[in-house]
Amino acid sequence: MSAGLQLVAHVAGRGLLFDATRVDSVVDLPPVVPTPGAPATIRGLAALRSRVATVIETHRVLGLPRGSGGGRGVVTMIDGHLYAIAVDTLEDVAGLAIAPPPAGMALEGGWSAVSGIADGENETLLMLDLDRLVALASA
C-alpha cells in the first residue's frame, strides 16, 4: 500500500482519485471550442489562465454515461501540454492508503488507467493514472 494526498472527484457517480502532486489546479471549465477530427474522448480546447488546454471527456474514456455535465476540471501538465480532465464534482484532498487493484478486477479499455483503489466514505475510490488516461483519450 502507498499513502499520499489524492484529489477526490466523481464522474457519472463513480468515485475517482488523482495524485495531488500531479494536479496543477482545479477549475470550473470555461466554454470549450470543439476540435474537428478529434476523437469523441476529446471535448475540445479551452483557455485556462491565458493558456490553451485540451479538455478530456473522462466519462467517454471510461465508457460511462454522461454524468452531470463534466463542468469541473482537474488541470495537469503532461509532456509540456496542459490538459483539463473533465469531472462532474470535485470533493476534497484526502490522505488515503492506495492498494493495488485486485487481481481479478477487469481493467479493460479506459479502465486500464486505474492504478489503485482506496476505501472512501461509503464507496470504493479508483485511483487514475493521469498519463495513461490522457494517452487513452488521445488514441
Annotated domain spans of the chain:
2-138
Tell me which architecture the domain covering 2-138 has in CATH: Beta Barrel (2.40)
CA distances from 65 to 2, 31, 88, 117 (A): 31, 21, 12, 21
Q: What is the mean pLDDT of the chain?
A: 90
- Alpha carbons within 13 angstroms on the beta-carbon side of residue 39 total 12
Instruction: Dig out the grid coordinates for 45 from the structure.
Output: 480546447
Q: How confident is the model at residue 111 (pLDDT cuts 50, 70, 90)?
A: confident
Residue 17: Cβ within 10 Å count: 25
The sheet that has 89-98: what strands, in order across it? 89-98, 2-11, 14-19, 124-128, 114-119
Say yes or no to pLDDT of 70 above 90: no
* pTM confidence score: 0.90
pLDDT at 4: 82
